[in-house]
Structure 1
Amino acid sequence: MAPLHRRLLLILAVVAVSGVLHAGAAFVGTPAGGDAGALLAVKASLSDPAGALDAWRVRTTGNLCRWPHVDCAGNSTAVAVEGLNLGDLALAGGFPVAVCSLSSLRHLDMSSNDLAGPLPACLAALPALETLNLASNNFSGEVPAAYGSGFPSLAVLNLIQNLLTGAFPGFLANVSSLQELLLAYNSFSPSPLPDNIGDLAALRVLFLANCSLTGNIPLSIGKLQNLVNLDLSSNNLTGEIPRNIGNLSSLVQIELFSNQLSGEIPSGIGRLKKLQQLDISMNQISGEIPEDMFAAPSLESVHMFQNNLTGWLPAMAGAAERLTELMIFANQIEGALPPDLGMNCPLESLDVSDNRIFGPIPATLCAGGKLKQLLLLNNMFDGEIPAELGGCRSLTRVRLPFNRLSGEVPPEFWGLPHVYLLELRGNALSGNVDAAIGRATNLSSLIIDNNRFTGVLPTELGNLTNLAVLLVANNSFSGTVPPSLSSLSQLLALDLSNNSLSGEIPRSLGQLKNLTMLDLSDNHLNGSIPVELGGIHDMNVLDLSHNELSGGVPAELQSLKFGVLNLSYNKLTGHIPSLFRAEQFRESFLGNPGLCYRICSKYDDVYSHRARVQMIVSILVVTAVILLLTVAWYTYKYKMYHKRAAEIDSQNSEWVITSFHKVEFSERDIVNSMTENNLVGKGGSGMVYKAVVRPNGDALAVKKLLAGSMSSKKNDTFEAEVQTLSKVRHRNIVKLFCCLTREASRVLVYEFMPNGSLGDFLHSAKAGILDWPTRYKILVDAAEGLSYLHHDCVPAIIHRDVKSNNILLDADFRAKVADFGVAKCVGDGPATMSIIAGSCGYIAPEYAYTVRITEKSDIYSFGVVMLELVTGKSPMSSDLGGKGLGSWVATNVEKNGVESVLDLKIAGQFKDEMCGVLKIALLCVKHVPNNRPSMRFVVRFLLDIKGEIKPKTLKVAEAAPAIRFGGKE
C-alpha cells in the first residue's frame, strides 16, 4: 500500500476513535477530558468484579499518575499515559476502544482477563505503541488486516491463548519493528507460514505453537540473525528442517516437536554457540544424528524422541559440557553409548528406551553427581550394572527392564536413598537382594521379576514403608515369605509367584488393607489359607495356585470382590463356600480332589431316592400355600405396579452397568435414585444425586452427565474419569464403584462423601467451621492422594484440576481427591495438551507459554489449596487486589510479615504449624516448575511439621524467602 494511503487510513482510524470516545464520555457524564477522560471511559466499558479500577474517579483526575495500573510520562504541565498494566485483574467485556485515544501509549497489558469479542483495529493507529499483550483472553474472529499496515513502533505482539480464527495472519511479517511475535494456541485455519517471515530482521522470539500451521518451514527463516527463541511446535508442518538453521547464531531455544517433519537433522547445529534447548521430538525425522550436534557449547537439553533416527549416538555426546537432559527414546538408534557419556557434564535425565542399543551401561553416567532419571528399557544392554551407579545418591527413577544385563547387582545400588522406582525386570541378573535394600526408604515400586535372583528375600524389605508395588516373580528365591512384609501398609501389589518359597503364608499379611493383588502361585507353600486375607476388602486378585496348601477354603474370602481367584492345584479339602460355586469360579479350584462343590456330609451316601422325593413334595406344598395366600394382594396391586414396573424396566433394560468394585445393588437402584428429591448438587458437567441402596442402606453419590454430555469433549471427560478411577486404589482417592451407560446417557456411581467439598467449608456459609488440626489432616490426606497418582501409578497420572472443590470430605473429615474428568496419564515424559485444563486461580503459570504439562502443574495447584487453608481466602477473592493468591501472599509476607496473611480466627497456638505449611505452599507455587518439590516431598514436609517423620535436611525455611512473583526468580 502506498505511504499516502496508509497515512490516510491511520488518520481516519484516529478520527473514528475520537468520536467513540466523545460518545463514551457523554454517556458517563464526566467532565474530564484528555487521557483522564479516556481512562474513565475505559473503566465504564468494562466489568470489574474485583474492583481493581475503583480508584479511577472523576474527582482524582488531577492525580492521574497515582491511579493504580497506570504509568505516566511528562511534566506537571503535560502528563500523558504511556503504560496500562491491566493484566490478571478479572476484567470482562469487549475491548475498551477508548484505549485507542491514548496517543502516547507505549505499553498495553490486558492479558489473563475475560475479555471477548473482536480484536480492535484502531490499536494499529497508535504511533508510540511498543508492547501489546492481550494473551489469555477470549478474543475471537480474525486478526485485523490493519495490523499488517500499522504499528509503526510495535516491538511485542502477544495474542497467545485466545479464540482467534481465520487464516494465519501472515501479513504480520510486514510489521518490520517486531521483536516478539507470539500467537500460540489459537484456532487458525490450516495455513502456511509466510515466505517473507525472514524480513522481520529484529525478531527475537517467534512463538507460534499450536496455530494449525501447514507446509514447509520457509527458508527465509535463516535470515533471522537476532532470533533467540523459535517455537513452531504442535502444528502440521512438513518437509525438512531448513539447512540454514545453523546460521541463526543467536538461537537459545528450538522447539519443533509434534509436527510431521521428515528428512534428516541438518548439520551445523553445533555452530550455534548459544543454543541451550533443542526439541524436535514426535516427528518423522530419519537418518543419523549429526556428529557435530553436541559440539554446541551451551547445549543443555536435547529431546529427539519418537522419530525414526538410526545409527549410533555420536561420540561427541560424551564431550558435551553442559548437557543435563538427553531424551532419544522410541527411535531405531543402535550401537553402544559413548563410554564417557556423563563424564564431562551435569547429566540429570537420560532416556534411550525403545531403541536397539547394545553394549555396557557407561560407568560415567553419574560422574557429575546430578543424575536423577535413568531409563534404558527395551534395548540390548549387556554386562553388569556398573558399581559406580551404586554411589549415585541423586538417582530417583531407574528403569532398566528388558535388556540383557547379567551378574550381581552392586550392593550399594539396592540401597539408594532417593530412588522411588527401581525396575530391573526381564534381564539375567543373579545373586541375592542385598540387605542394603532396607536403606532405600523412598522406594514405592520395586520390580525385579523375570531374572535369576536366588537366596532368601531379606527381612529388611519391611523397612520400605512407602512401598506400593513389589514384583519379584519368576526368579529362584527360596526360604519363607518374610513376615516383615506385613509392615508395608501402603502395599498395593505383591507378586512372589514362580519361585521356590516354602513354609506357611504369614497370617500377618492380612494387615495389608490396601492390597489389591496378591500372587503367591507356583511355589512350595504349605499350611492353610489365612482367614485374615478375607479382611483385605480391596483385594481384586488372589492367586495361590500350584502350591501345597491344605485345609479348607475360608468362608471369609466371600467378602472380597474378585476379578481373579485361583486356588487350583493345592491339597485343599472340605466344601467350597456357596458364593464360589458360581460359573465364574468354575476353574478356580481345579486340582483339589478333596474339595466338594456342594455341602459335604457324612450322610451323603445314605440319602435315598424316596427321601429326596418326599423333600421335593413338601417344598411344593408349602410353596402352593404361600402362593394362595398372596394371590389376592397381587391381584389388587397388579395394574398400578405393572405400569410402574414396565416404565422402570424399559429404562433399565437399556442401561449397561460396568463394575469396578464389589457392588450389591442393581442398575434399577441407581436409576430410581435420580429424582428431584435426591438431588444434592449441580455443576457444569452434570447433576449429583444421593442414592441409598439396599440391602445395607449404603449411601452412594450418583453423577449423571447433562444432556450435552455426548459431545466429544464431555465424552472425553467421562472416559477420562472412568479410565482413571477404575484402575486406582487408594484411601485418599474417591472410589468409583461402577458406571452406567446407554445411547444418550452417562452415569458415574461413587462413594458418598457426606461432608461435601473442602471449598464449601472454606468459602461458603460453613466458613470458619474447620479448625487448624482438621485442616492439617485434610492437607496430608490430599497430598498423599496426589503423591500416589504421581509416583505410584504406572504410568503417572496428572489430575490437571486440583482445587478445594475437588477435595471431598467423609464423615470424619478425611479427605479424598475427586473429579478426574481432565486427568492424563503421562508415561515417562511430559504430556502435550491441546487445550488448557484447570480452574481459574489454580492454573500453573507455565501454561502461558506451553501446554506440555508435568506433575509440577498439579503441585502448583495444590500449593494454592494449601494457601487457601492457611489464609482462609479464595484464589478469586476480590480483596487480593487483582493478584493471584500466591502473589498476594508473597507480597504481604515481604511487607508485613508472615502473620499478616494467616487466618487469625483459627491460628491461636497453631501459628508455628501454619507458618510451616505456608512456607511449603510458597515452594509449590514457584513460577519455575523445576523449582517446585515433588508431591512425595510435599508429603514429607507436611509430616515433618508435626514431627511424624524424622527431621530431614530440608531447608524449607531458607528456600521460601527467595521466592519472587511477577518476575524472574
Structure 2
Amino acid sequence: MLSGEIPGEFQSLQSLETLNLSHNNLSGEIPASLEKLRGLYTVDISSNELQGPIPNCQAFLNASVQELGRNKGLCGNARGLPPCTPFSKKGHNNNKTFLVVMFSLLSVSCLLISSIALLFAFKRKKDTDEERQSNASDEIFFSVTPFNGRILYKEIIRATKDFDAQYCIGKGGYGNVYKAELSSGDVVAVKKFHPLHTGEMADQRQFLNEVRALVETRHRNIVKFYGFCSSAGHSFLVYKYLERGSLASVLSKNEESKKLDWNKRVNIVKGVVNALSYLHHDCSPPIVHRDITSNNILLDLEYEAHLSDFGTAKLLNPDSSNWSNIAGTYGYIAPELSYTMQVTEKCDVFSFGVLALELIVGAYPGEFLSNLSILTAESIPLNNVLDQSLSPPPPEVVNKLMFILKLAVSCLNINPKSRPTMHTVSQLVFDHI
C-alpha cells in the first residue's frame, strides 16, 4: 500500500496513459504538475486521504464519481465534486462552506454506496479468475505505444497462465523473467519481482529504481521498455523479448559460444560502451547501472548487445547524497565500494573492464583480477588469453582485440580517478575500432 503524498516526479512520465492509485493511504493535495501529463487519459484515485483541487486536465475533469470518491475533501470541476473556493484552496473553512461541502460529500457518499453495492453484486457473478484480474484495485498501470496498460496487464496474465513455471526463461535474486506471447503476435519479456514479505521494502525499491531509470531512456543498446504494473498481487516490468538471451548464457554453451565470433564480440563491446556513455553523459541526472555483467547483456538475433536489469541503478542527483549500500554482482563490483560505498560512474567503468576481458577470454576472467595493483596490458599476452573455442582472429581483428585488452586494463585501475570516463572510452572505441 502506498502512503504519503503523490510525488511530483510523476510529471516526467510523459508516456503515462493510465494512472490507478486507488485503495491506498495517499494524503495531501494532488500535485498540479500532473497537468503536464498530456498523454494521460484515465485516472482512479479513489479510497485515499487526498484533498484540495484536482489538476485542471481532461483525465481528472472527465473522471467519474467512483474514480475520485472516498477521499478527504477533493474539489474541482469534475462530476460529484464541490467547486473549489478561496477557503478550500487555502485550507480555511467558514460554517457556510463547511455545510456546502458536507452536503456534497454526503450526496457523493450515498451515490458511492449505491454504486459499490451494485458493483459488488455484479462482481460476485464472475468466475474467480476473471475477478482476480479485474479486481486489481491498487495497480499503477503504465504503457508505452503500442500497448494499452490495462490490456497489456490482462494479456500477460493470460499469456503466462498467471506466471506458470513453464514460461520462466530466467531467474534472479529479485525476480524471475517470463516469456509472454500476446494475442497480437508480439512477444515480450516480463520481469516479475518476488512478492514482498512483511516489513521488507528492498524488492519494492528495486522495482521503483528500475522503472525510474528506464521510463525516459531511449537507446538502441538499452533493452526496449514497454511498461510496468505495480500492485499488491504483482509487480512486473515489460520489455522487448530478445531471442538469444544473455551473453553469459551464450558464452557458457560451447556451440553457441562458437557462433559468437571475434567480430561479433568486438561489436558487443561497442554496444555496451555506447549504452554506458549514454547513461553517464546524456541522461540528466546521470544514471549509474551498478550491475554490468554478462548476465545483464542481452543479445538479439544479430548478436547486438542490449543493456538490461536496472534494478540496482542509481540516479546521480547533485543535490543529494550518492552514498549507498553495496549493490551488484560479486566479481564485477569496483573495489572502492568495499570501503567508501560512494557510487560514481567509475563503478560502471570498472565492471565494463571485467566484461571486456570476459569477451576476450570467453569466460569470467577471475585469475586476472586477483591482484589489480600489478595488472597491466603487458602482463596479459593476447595469444595466451584468447578464447580457445574460436579460430585465431585475422590480423585486422587482432589489432582491435589488442586495443580492447588495453582499454579493459585501464578501466580496471584500482584507483577510480585514474579510470577513463565512458565518454572517453566511447571516443577511443570510435577512433580505433
User: What is the TM-score when the length of structure 2 is the normalising length?
Assistant: 0.65
Count of aligned positions: 313
Given candidates 133, 144, 147, the residue that maps to 1:661 is 144
- Alpha-carbon distance in 2 for matches of 1:830, 1:850: 16
- For 2:382, give the aligned amino acid: V
Unmatched 5+ stretches in structure 2: 1-11, 17-35, 40-57, 63-123
8 Å CA contact 1:720–1:821 kept in 2: the answer is yes
Question: Is contact 2:322-2:344 (8 Å) kept?
Answer: no
Contact 1:660–1:736 at 8 Å: present in 2 too?
A: no
Which amino acid in 2 is paired with 1:699? V
Counterpart position of 2:274: 784
AA aligned to 1:750 is Y
Percent identity between the aligned chains? 35
Residues 185-224 of structure 1: pairs in structure 2 closer than 5 A:
none
Aligned-partner SS, 2:258: coil
Gap change, CA 1:707 and 1:830, over 3 Å in 2? closer
Residue 714 of structure 1: how far off its partner (Å): 1.2
Aligned counterpart in structure 2 of residue 741 of structure 1, from 220, 230, 233: 230
The equivalent residue for 1:844 is 334
Q: Is the 8 A contact 2:324 2:342 kept in 1?
A: no
Partner of 1:351: none
The reply to whether residue 932 of structure 1 matches residue 414 of structure 2 is no
Pick from 662, 676, 682: which aligns with 2:171? 682
1:267-313 deviation line (CA, Å, top 9, x unaligned): xxxxxxxxxxxxxxxxxxxxxxxxxxxxxxxxxxxxxxxxxxxxxxx
Rounded Cα–Cα distance in structure 2 between residues aligned with 1:871 and 1:718: 33
| Superposition pairs of residues 615-630 of structure 1, within 5 angstroms | none
Residue 868 of structure 1 is matched in structure 2 by: 358
Deviation at 1:681, TM superposition (A): 1.7
| Counterparts of 1:919 and 1:702, CA distance in 2 | 37
Tell me the CA shift for residue 660 of structure 1: 4.2
Q: More strand per residue: 1 or 2? A: 1
Q: After TM superposition, list the pairs within 5 Å mapping 1:45-84 onto structure 2.
A: none
Preserved contact between residue 898 and residue 915 of structure 1 (Cα < 8 Å): yes
Instruction: Name the residue aligned to 2:182.
Output: 693
Q: State which of 641, 650, 661 in structure 1 corresponds to 2:132.
A: 650
Instruction: Determine if contact 1:720/1:823 at 8 Å carries over to the other structure.
Output: yes
Does residue 760 (structure 1) correspond to residue 240 (structure 2)? The answer is no
Contact map agreement 1:864 1:886 (CA 8 A) in 2:
no
1:761-814 C-alpha deviation (Å, 9 max, x unpaired): 223443332001111111111111111110011111111111111111122222
Residue of 191, 210, 213 corresponding to 1:721 = 210
Amino acid at match of 2:296: N
> Is the 8 Å Cα contact of residues 758 and 809 (structure 1) preserved in structure 2?
yes
Aligned residue for 2:29? none
Using a 3 Å threshold, how does the CA distance of structure 1 residues 540 and 739 change in structure 2: closer, same or farther? closer
Q: Does the 8 A contact of 1:863 with 1:925 survive in 2?
A: yes
The correspondence for 1:922, drawn from 409, 427, 430, is 409
Distance in 2, Cα, partners of 1:896 & 1:821: 34
Secondary structure in 2 matching 1:836:
coil
- Aligned match of 2:381 in 889, 897, 918? 897
SS at match of 1:853: coil
2:125 & 2:296 partners in 1: Cα distance? 41
Between 815-824 and 665-674, report the one with greater CA deviation: 665-674
Counterpart CA distance in 2 for 1:924 and 1:829 is: 27
Where do residues 573-652 of structure 1 align in structure 2 (5 Å cutoff)?
646-652=128-134
Q: Is the 8 A contact 1:652 1:671 kept in 2?
A: no
Distance 1:755 1:643, change over 3 A: farther
CA distance in structure 2 between the aligned counterparts of 1:652 and 1:658, rounded to whole angstroms:
13
2:189 and 2:241 in contact (8 A); partners too: yes
Contact 1:842 1:875 in 2 (8 A): no
Return the alpha-carbon distance in structure 1 between the equivalents of residues 379 and 218 of structure 2. 45
Contact 1:790 / 1:935 at 8 angstroms: preserved in 2?
A: yes
Preserved CA contact (<8 Å) 1:736 1:750: yes
Structure 1 residue identity aligned to 2:316: V
Q: Specify which structure has the higher proportion of helix.
A: 2
- Aligned partners of 1:704, 1:801: CA distance in 2, in Å? 18
Aligned mates of 2:266, 2:166 — CA distance in 1? 35
* Structure 1 gap ranges (5+): 1-516, 518-538, 542-561, 566-582, 588-641, 947-969
Aligned to 2:82: none
Q: In the alignment, is the contact (CA less than 8 A) between 2:352 and 2:411 conserved in 1?
A: yes
Q: Larger radius of gyration, structure 1 or 2?
A: 1
Q: Name the structure 2 match of 1:770.
A: 260
The answer as to 2:185 corresponding to 1:707 is no
Q: Which amino acid aligns with 2:189?
A: A
DSSP 3-state at the match of 2:274: helix
**Are the structure 2 counterparts of residues 702 and 720 from structure 1 closer, same or farther at C-alpha, using a change threshold of 3 Å?**
same
Match among 290, 295, 301 for residue 811 of structure 1: 301
Q: Take 1:903 and 1:830, find their aligned partners in 2: how far apart are those partners?
A: 44
1:680 is paired with a residue whose SS is: strand
Match of 1:564 in 2: 38
In the superposition, relative to structure 1, how do residues 646 and 884 fare at CA in structure 2: closer, same or farther (>3 Å)? same
1:172-192 CA-partner distances (Å, limit 9, x unpaired): xxxxxxxxxxxxxxxxxxxxx
After TM superposition, the structure 1 = structure 2 runs for residues 272-671 of structure 1, keeping only pairs within 5 Å, are 564=38, 646-654=128-136, 656-662=139-145, 663-664=147-148, 665-671=151-157
Cα separation, 2, equivalents of 1:829 and 1:650: 43
Q: Distance in 1 between matches of 2:140 and 2:339?
A: 42
Shift of 1:929: 0.8
Shift of 1:846: 1.1
- How far did residue 889 of structure 1 move? 9.9
Q: Summarize the Cα distance change of 1:661–1:709 in structure 2 as closer, same or farther, 3 Å threshold.
A: farther
Q: State the Cα distance separating 1:649 from its structure 2 match.
A: 2.9
**1:708 shift after superposition:** 4.0
Q: Which amino acid aligns with 2:141?
A: T
> 1:77-113 CA distances to partner (integer Å, 9 max, x unpaired)?
xxxxxxxxxxxxxxxxxxxxxxxxxxxxxxxxxxxxx
Taking a change above 3 Å as real, the CA distance of residues 777 and 944 of structure 1, as seen in their structure-2 partners, is same
Corresponding residue for residue 26 of structure 2: none
The alignment partner of 1:789 has SS state of helix
Distance 1:643 1:758, change over 3 A: farther
RMSD (CA atoms): 3.3
1:293 corresponds to: none
Once the two structures are TM-superposed, the CA of residue 741 in structure 1 deviates from its matched residue by 2.0
Query: Of the two structures, which has the highest relative contact order with CA contacts closer than 8 Å and spacing of 6 or more?
Result: 2
Cα distance in 2, alignment partners of residues 930 and 752 from structure 1: 37
Give per-residue Cα distances to partners, 1:354-407, cap 9 Å, x unaligned.
Answer: xxxxxxxxxxxxxxxxxxxxxxxxxxxxxxxxxxxxxxxxxxxxxxxxxxxxxx
The answer to whether the Cα contact below 8 Å between 2:324 and 2:343 also exists between their aligned partners in 1 is no
Quote the Cα distance in structure 2 between the aligned partners of 1:667 and 1:896.
50
Using the alignment, how far apart are the partners of 1:649 and 1:888 within structure 2? 61
Matched residue of 1:808: which SS?
A: strand
Residue 745 of structure 1 and its aligned partner are, at CA, apart by: 2.9
In 1, Cα distance between equivalents of 2:197 and 2:133: 18
For 1:818 and 1:934, locate their aligned partners in 2 and report how far apart those are by CA, in whole Å. 20
Q: Is 1:942 aligned to 2:429, yes or no? A: yes
State how far apart, in whole Å, the 1-side matches of 2:319 and 2:155 are: 43
Q: Secondary structure at the residue paired with 1:750?
A: strand
TM-score of the superposed pair, with normalisation by structure 1: 0.30
User: Structure 2: how far apart are the matches of 1:897 and 1:851?
Assistant: 33
**Post-superposition offset of 1:685:** 1.5
Amino acid at match of 1:659: F
1:735-775 superposed Cα distances (whole Å, 9 cap, x missing partner): 22121222243121111111111111223443332001111
